[in-house]
Amino acid sequence: MPNSVNKSRIFLSPPHMSGNEKKYIKEAFDTNWIAPLGPNVDAFEKEIAHYAGVNEAVAVSSGTAAIHLALSLLGVKKGDKVFCSSLTFIASANPIIYQGAEPVFIDSEPETWNMSPEALERAFQDAVFEGTLPKAVIVVNLYGQSAKMDEIAGICDQYQVPIIEDAAESLGSTYKGKASGTFGKFGIYSFNGNKIITTSSGGMLVSNDTEALRKARFLATQARDPAPHYQHSQIGFNYRLSNILAGVGRAQLEVLDQRIAARRTIFKRYFDTLGHLHGFTFMPELVGTYSNRWLSTLTINEKAAGVSVKELLHVLSEENIEARPVWKPLHLQPVFQGIKYYPHNNSVSEQLFKNGICLPSGSNMTEEDQFRVINCIKDTVMHKKSNQKVV
């Protein structure tokens, strides 16, 4: 019987304020910096750049806006091709369409669930054969796990095509000791409400190319020429971040490392309590990488486990627990029907979508609440097992 009415909701990844946010918001109000620029914006940009170890960062209104600016800076236009991970949130690819360009989707490989270097190489070989290289490659670091950046960067370097690293989900993660988001020509972070730290809505574009980021600021501020009479020689965007929201971001960044530690503890608890169940395989952490474990995710082999992802999602939902399937690959999205796709060998992203589940992972989830999730899953699996014996 569903008794969810009595049980408080456990969310997948809710915001987790530190308490210090109000101090920065108050400062913005006290000094009347209620604008898409100001001291919090400047400081937040410097603090993110310092944290990630890059020359510069530009605060923007969303991660999507940051990707759009990066494509725009790389001159992506109508008729161009852009390679993009298939297993991701649609925001990774939407800006390709905004620019009138054409995405080509690249499958995942099983060790990181991220872009397959083999599939990428095949896509490049075809592009060479067709005589048109892509203008950019958008590489996503899913759920906090870095893609195989050495291999991917090696291939992109060989063809001299720039990388945009979509690190929306992987702020604070590292690959061989280097910050996620700093491997491409551009990197982007998101501070949407569900991300590891949030400004309610916001994003950041990072790069070592300070000249390009100067242009990004210009484009993000309606491409206004330096004249007092509002002169414009090209089309820009209104993409800057509010000084109030940047204040929230500053306080959140102060606790980012604590948030990562909490999410990793949550992952470990799931792993220790559920990892031994037949057919349960948690998302790997590639050797040499450190994942922020934004979401704890795993695949369930229905035959071995005796329970499907669909059934588990249903039972968890009855218990007022929010869990989700893994992202639906973009090449399977109705809106991207007919778009070219390069599978790894068998289509890894399709398998991950079919068998993958994301469990509640909020850094503010109590141990007690996590055990509600764990016990619900365990009970369902046991119940299924005993049913099978009876039959």
Ligand X SMILES: *Cc1c(COP(=O)(O)O)cnc(C)c1O
Instruction: Give the residues lining the site for ligand X (CB under 6 A).
Output: 62-64, 88-89, 91-92, 140, 166, 168-169, 190, 192, 203
Q: Which residues pair with 324 in a beta bridge?
A: 358
Q: 92 and 138 in contact (C-beta within 8 Å)?
A: yes
Residues 6+ apart with CB under 8 A from 389: none
252 vs 380, beta carbon nearer ligand X = 252
98 vs 159, beta carbon nearer ligand X = 98
CB of 190 to ligand X, least distance (A): 3
Residue nearest to ligand X (CB): 63
CB of 326 to ligand X, least distance (A): 12
359 vs 381, beta carbon nearer ligand X = 359
Tell me how far apart the alpha carbons of residues 145 and 110 are, in angstroms, rounded to a whole number. 12
CB of 319 to ligand X, least distance (A): 26
Burial class of residue 339 in the structure, from the number of CB atoms within 10 Å of its CB (0-12 exposed, 13-18 middle, 19+ buried)? middle
Q: 144 and 294 in contact (C-beta within 8 Å)?
A: yes
CB of 89 to ligand X, least distance (A): 4
Q: At residue 265, what are phi and psi to the nearest 5 degrees?
A: -65, -40
Q: 142 and 87 in contact (C-beta within 8 Å)?
A: yes
CB of 131 to ligand X, least distance (A): 30
Tell me how far apart the alpha carbons of residues 23 and 43 are, in angstroms, rounded to a whole number. 14
CB of 158 to ligand X, least distance (A): 25
87 vs 315, beta carbon nearer ligand X = 87
Return the structure tokens found at 166.
């979509």
CB of 32 to ligand X, least distance (A): 27
Q: At residue 339, what are phi and psi to the nearest 5 degrees?
A: -85, 145
How many alpha carbons fall within 13 Å on the CB side of residue 78?
Answer: 0
201 vs 355, beta carbon nearer ligand X = 201
Q: Give one word for 180, left, alpha or beta, with left for phi > 0 and alpha for psi -120 to 50.
A: beta
169 vs 369, beta carbon nearer ligand X = 169
DSSP state of 345: S
CB of 358 to ligand X, least distance (A): 12
Q: Which of 143, 165, 170 is nearest to 152 (CA)?
A: 165
Name the pairing type of β-strands 56-60 and 163-166.
Answer: unpaired
82 vs 315, beta carbon nearer ligand X = 82
CB of 336 to ligand X, least distance (A): 15
Q: 136 and 74 in contact (C-beta within 8 Å)?
A: yes
121 vs 169, beta carbon nearer ligand X = 169
Q: At residue 200, what are phi and psi to the nearest 5 degrees?
A: 80, -45
C-alpha torsion sign, points 220, 226, 230, 231: negative
89 vs 280, beta carbon nearer ligand X = 89
CB of 188 to ligand X, least distance (A): 7
134 vs 181, beta carbon nearer ligand X = 181
Q: 312 and 360 in contact (C-beta within 8 Å)?
A: no
Q: Residue 42's CB: how many other CB atoms inside 10 A?
A: 13
